[in-house]
Amino acid sequence: ANSLLANTGTTIFTVMSALAVRHQAINLGQGFPDTEGPADVVAAAAAALQDGRNQYPPLTGVPELRQAVAAANQRFYGLDIDADREVVVTSGATEAITASLMALIDPGDEVVLIEPLYDTYLPVVKLLGGVPKLVRLAPPEWELPRAELAAAFGPKTKAILLNSPMNPIGKVFSAEELGFIASLLEQHDAYAVCDEVYEHLVFDGLRHIPLMTLPGMRERCLRIGSAGKTFSLTGWKVGYITGPAALMGVVAKAHQNLTFTTAPNLQRAVALGLAKDDAYFAGLSADLQAQRDHLVTGLTAAGFKTLPSGGSYFVLADYAALDSDGDDAAFCMKLAERAGVVAIPLSAFYAGEKPRHHVRFAFCKQTHVLDEAITRLTRYF
Ligand code: PMP
Ligand code: GLN
């Protein structure tokens, strides 16, 4: 068997969700909403199943969705995207990340990764023969260490994999930080795979800025979105990549060899979703912001010290004042077994030296679920 995969554990999200079931715990671990996405989008997918278009769709995606992705790029970011040559629809952002890296790197190429990192990044880079160069952000400020980032770039650098808004810390990269990254890409003639699955889940009036919108970056970025996050339908696994035509042909070849296509009914429903009015997108982030605030208030009352979260489904909490024995994984086990609440240890997002006493809570849950979690935590501590 492939030794890298054989030595890869089951993803922390699956492990913790199973733990939640076993202990009948409130699951604030794995990031998925506990309500359905928009009814019209779901209805469109159901209707599309019955209208006789259930065979293989075009490799790069159904035209309606490619056009909708291009239109959304124009509408939200002023990006001019050719729907026929610059969009590839994938089976979730997960495939999009792999397809993008596959398209960019040859074995031996270096890929800059920022810790904490999403769990698929490192294994995929390694499986493709890429050489990861890790740069870490540290709590509580999560500042981009510019000198270290610059030092991670060199003659063999092919790409950076950038996640903004960032899972698990909720960091939304600023224009200045993106400008710095852009200058490194130009200096080293490198590319960026931009995981922007939380692009529409941004709070407190912050603005998500795609790296691709910065000067010189239109030709250097592969920008990834996910219908799962944008429409609260995480099981659908419809993702999309936008990038320069010269690269997207190669991305399409990667997709051709990974999955070839993605369910056509879901694609057509997502096309309808992307054309929803501004109120939908504003409501999505406003609702999540209120859920974040609700959970933060409860966690604070229970004795946690929460860190700022400007986007995503997640907020980090420092539990040092509540418990000092064991690491964050042990703390999460205790939390599940004894308090009946599941969270994700921050250390799961680090490959190198592990940070201590921080856990990630997902707040994309109904108010009564958050309330029950808060009640349990307050009772326990
Ligand atoms: N990237 C990040 C940062 C994520 O949090 C997720 C969702 N869990 C994904 C990619 C995968 O998205 P999808 O479900 O569309 O494959
Ligand atoms: N992205 C989700 C999270 O961070 C989980 C996705 C998965 O379970 N693979 O919680």
Looking up residue 212, the CATH number of its domain turns out to be 3.40.640.10
| Same structural domain, 189 and 267 | yes
Q: ipTM score here?
A: 0.98
Per-residue pLDDT, 228? 98
| Same structural domain, 82 and 145 | yes
Segments in the chain forming alpha helices (H): 3-6, 12-22, 39-49, 63-77, 92-104, 121-127, 146-152, 175-187, 227-230, 245-258, 264-274, 278-302, 328-334, 367-380
Per-residue pLDDT, 9? 87
Last residue of a domain, one of 259, 276, 293: 276
DSSP H helix total and E strand total for the chain: 14, 13
On the CB side of 183, CA atoms within 13 Å amount to: 9
Last residue of a domain, one of 276, 300, 321: 276
The ligand that comes nearest to the alpha carbon of residue 17 is: 2
* Angle value at C-alpha 115, between 113 and 116, nearest 5 degrees: 135
Cα separation, 190 vs 169, in Å, equals: 26
Per-residue pLDDT, 326? 84
| Same structural domain, 269 and 318 | no
| Same structural domain, 120 and 242 | yes
| 94 CA → ligand 1 middle, Å | 6
Q: Kindly give the number of the ligand 1 atom that is closest to the alpha carbon of 228.
A: 15
| 156 CA → ligand 2 middle, Å | 31
| Same structural domain, 9 and 43 | no
| Same structural domain, 283 and 219 | no
Tell me the helix, strand and coil percentages in the chain, rounded to 5: 45, 15, 40
Per-residue pLDDT, 139? 87
Per-residue pLDDT, 355? 86
Positions in the chain whose pLDDT score sits under 50: none
Per-residue pLDDT, 289? 98
Decide: 196 in ligand 1 pocket, CB within 6 A: no
Decide: 312 in ligand 1 pocket, CB within 6 A: no
- Residues with a CB atom less than 6 Å from ligand 2: 11, 13, 30-31, 167
- Count of domains for the chain: 2
Cα separation, 229 vs 218, in Å, equals: 24
Cα separation, 113 vs 132, in Å, equals: 7
> Helices 264-274 & 39-49, crossing angle to 10 degrees?
150
Task: Assign residue 312 the CATH number of its domain.
Answer: 3.90.1150.10
244: cis peptide before it, omega within 30°? no
| Same structural domain, 44 and 118 | yes
As to burial, measured by CB atoms within 10 angstroms (0-12 exposed, 13-18 middle, 19+ buried), residue 36 is exposed
Per-residue pLDDT, 78? 98
Per-residue pLDDT, 53? 83
**What is this structure's pTM?**
0.98
Which residue, among 127, 128, 145, has the nearest Cα to 136 in the 3D structure? 145
Name residue 360's beta-bridge partners: 316, 344
Cα separation, 122 vs 223, in Å, equals: 19
Both structure tokens of 157:
């650098």
Nearest residue (CA) to ligand 2, atom 9: 13
Please state the separation of Cα 105 from the chain's center in Å: 21
| 263 CA → ligand 1 middle, Å | 18
| 374 CA → ligand 2 middle, Å | 22
| Same structural domain, 264 and 334 | no
The ligand that comes nearest to the alpha carbon of residue 12 is: 2
Cα separation, 201 vs 312, in Å, equals: 5
| 119 CA → ligand 1 middle, Å | 10
| Same structural domain, 352 and 339 | yes
Nearest residue (CA) to ligand 1, atom 8: 31
Q: Kindly give the number of the ligand 2 atom that is closest to the alpha carbon of 31.
A: 10
| 178 CA → ligand 1 middle, Å | 21
* Range(s) of the domain holding residue 262: 39-276
Both structure tokens of 122:
């490192």
| Same structural domain, 271 and 287 | no
119-128: long-range pairs with CB below 8 Å, 24+: 119/11, 119/12, 119/13, 119/348, 119/349, 120/94, 121/97, 121/161, 122/351, 123/4, 123/5, 123/8, 124/97, 124/98, 125/101, 125/161, 126/4, 127/2, 127/4, 127/5, 128/101, 128/102
In 3-state terms, what secondary structure has residue 160? strand
Q: Kindly give the number of the ligand 2 atom that is closest to the alpha carbon of 167.
A: 4
Nearest residue (CA) to ligand 1, atom 5: 167
| Same structural domain, 269 and 293 | no
| 97 CA → ligand 1 middle, Å | 9
Cα separation, 22 vs 154, in Å, equals: 47
Dihedral sign, CA of 143, 145, 146, 152? negative
Mean residue pLDDT of the chain comes to 96
Both structure tokens of 198:
């939380």
Decide: 57 in ligand 1 pocket, CB within 6 A: no
| Same structural domain, 11 and 77 | no
pLDDT (tens digit per residue) in 270-306: 999 999 999 999 999 999 999 999 999 999 999 999 9
Last residue of a domain, one of 276, 309, 334: 276
| 118 CA → ligand 1 middle, Å | 8
Nearest residue (CA) to ligand 2, atom 4: 31
Q: Which of 30, 118, 121, 167 has the most ligand 2 atoms within 8 A of CB, as the residue to mutate?
A: 30
